[in-house]
Amino acid sequence: MCLTEKKRENQLLILYASQTGNAMDAAERFGREAERRGCPSISVLSMDEFDPSELPNKEAVILVVSTTGQGDNPDSMKGFWRFLLQKNLTEDWLKGVNYAVFGLGDSSYQKYNFVAKKLDKRFSSLGATPIIERGLGDDQHPSGYEGALDPWMSSLWSILYQRNPRLLPNAITPDDTLMDQPKVQVIYHDTEEGLSPMTTSTDFNYLEMQLEKAHSMNPAKYSGKNRPDCFLKLTKNNLLSQVESGKDVRHFEFEAVSCAIDYDVGDILEVLPGQSPEALDAFMQRCNLNPESYITVVLTCFQVQVQARDNENRGFQKPSSPVKLKSFIELTMDVASASPRRYFFEVMSFFATAEHEKERLQYFASPEGRDDLYQYNQKERRTVLEVLEDFPSVQMPFEWLVQLVPPLKTRAFSISSSNSAHPNQVHLTISLVSWTTPYKRKRTGLCSSWLAGLDPNQRVLIPAWISKGCLPPPPPSLPLILVGPGTGCAPFHGFVEERAIQSKSVTTAPVVFFFGCRNEEDDFLYRDFWLSHLQKDGVLSEEKGGGFYVAFSREQPHKVYVQHKMREQSSKIWSLLSQGAAVYVAGSANKMPADVLSALEEIVSNETGVPKEAASTWIRTLERAGKYHVEAWS
**Looking at the predicted structure, is the pLDDT value of residue 243 above 70?**
yes
Q: What is the pLDDT of residue 78?
A: 92
pLDDT in tens, 140-156: 887 788 889 989 999 99
What's the mean pLDDT in 298-304? 59
Res. 221 pLDDT band, cuts 50 70 90: low
Strand partners, 294: 189, 324
Q: Which of 19, 130, 25, 24 is nearest to 78 (CA)?
A: 19
CA distance 309 to 302: 10
Q: What is the pLDDT of residue 316?
A: 38
Q: What's the start-to-end Cα distance of the chain, in Å?
A: 42
Q: What is the pLDDT of residue 175?
A: 65
Cα 138 to its chain centre, rounded Å, is: 15
From 207-216, 357-366, 485-494, the region with the lowest mean pLDDT: 207-216
Q: What are the Cα distances from residue 401, in Å, to 334, 343, 348, 406, 465? A: 11, 12, 10, 9, 27
Between these two residues, 230 and 219, which has the higher pLDDT value? 230
User: What are the φ/ψ torsions at residue 424 (nearest 5 degrees)?
Assistant: 65, 20
What's the maximum distance between 2 C-alpha atoms anywhere in the chain?
Answer: 78
CA distance 295 to 324: 6
What's the mean pLDDT in 379-406? 95
**Looking at the predicted structure, is the pLDDT value of residue 200 above 60?**
no
From 152-166, 171-185, 506-520, the region with the lowest mean pLDDT: 171-185
DSSP at 339: P
Q: What is the pLDDT of residue 70?
A: 72
**Looking at the predicted structure, is the pLDDT value of residue 333 above 80?**
yes
Between these two residues, 79 and 318, which has the higher pLDDT value? 79
Average pLDDT, the chain: 88
**Looking at the predicted structure, is the pLDDT value of residue 589 above 90?**
no
What's the mean pLDDT in 489-501? 98
Q: What is the pLDDT of residue 438?
A: 86
Between these two residues, 71 and 130, which has the higher pLDDT value? 130
CA distance 48 to 51: 8
pLDDT in tens, 100-128: 999 999 887 778 899 999 999 999 999 99
What's the mean pLDDT in 43-71? 91
Q: Which residues are annotated as a binding site for NADP(+)?
A: 487, 553-554, 559-563, 595
Cα 130 to its chain centre, rounded Å, is: 28
Q: Which residues are annotated as a binding site?
A: 18-23, 66-69, 104-113, 139, 381, 411-414, 445-448, 487, 553-554, 559-563, 595, 633
**Looking at the predicted structure, is the pLDDT value of residue 501 above 50?**
yes
**Looking at the predicted structure, is the pLDDT value of residue 320 above 70?**
no
**Helix 570-578 crosses helix 592-608 at what angle (to 10 degrees)?**
80
Ranges of beta strands (E only) in 469-563 are: 480-483, 511-517, 547-552
What's the mean pLDDT in 82-102? 94
H or E stretch at 138: strand 135-138
Q: What is the pLDDT of residue 178?
A: 58
Q: What is the pLDDT of residue 302?
A: 43
**Looking at the predicted structure, is the pLDDT value of residue 157 above 60?**
yes
Between these two residues, 433 and 101, which has the higher pLDDT value? 101
From 286-290, 302-306, 558-562, the region with the lowest mean pLDDT: 302-306
CA distance 91 to 94: 8
Q: What is the pLDDT of residue 581?
A: 97
Q: pTM here?
A: 0.86
CA distance 217 to 194: 16
Q: pLDDT above 70 covers what percent of the chain? A: 91
Between these two residues, 519 and 320, which has the higher pLDDT value? 519
CA distance 437 to 418: 38
From 195-209, 316-330, 574-588, 595-609, the region with the lowest mean pLDDT: 195-209
**Looking at the predicted structure, is the pLDDT value of residue 378 above 90?**
no
Res. 10 pLDDT band, cuts 50 70 90: low
Between these two residues, 417 and 35, which has the higher pLDDT value? 417
Strand partners, 513: 482, 548
Q: What is the pLDDT of residue 516?
A: 95
Rg (CA), the chain: 26
Res. 215 pLDDT band, cuts 50 70 90: confident
Q: What is the pLDDT of residue 634?
A: 72
Res. 440 pLDDT band, cuts 50 70 90: confident
Q: Which residues are annotated as a binding site for FMN?
A: 18-23, 66-69, 104-113, 139
CA distance 125 to 103: 18
Q: What is the pLDDT of residue 224?
A: 54
What's the mean pLDDT in 503-523? 95
Between these two residues, 365 and 417, which has the higher pLDDT value? 417
Q: Which residues are annotated as a binding site for FAD?
A: 381, 411-414, 445-448, 633
**Looking at the predicted structure, is the pLDDT value of residue 353 above 70?**
yes
What's the mean pLDDT in 72-88? 92
pLDDT in tens, 222-231: 555 678 889 9
CA distance 335 to 280: 7
Set out the domains of the chain in order of their start, with CATH numbers: 11-163 (3.40.50.360), 184-223+273-404 (1.20.990.10), 480-633 (3.40.50.80)
**Looking at the predicted structure, is the pLDDT value of residue 5 above 80?**
no
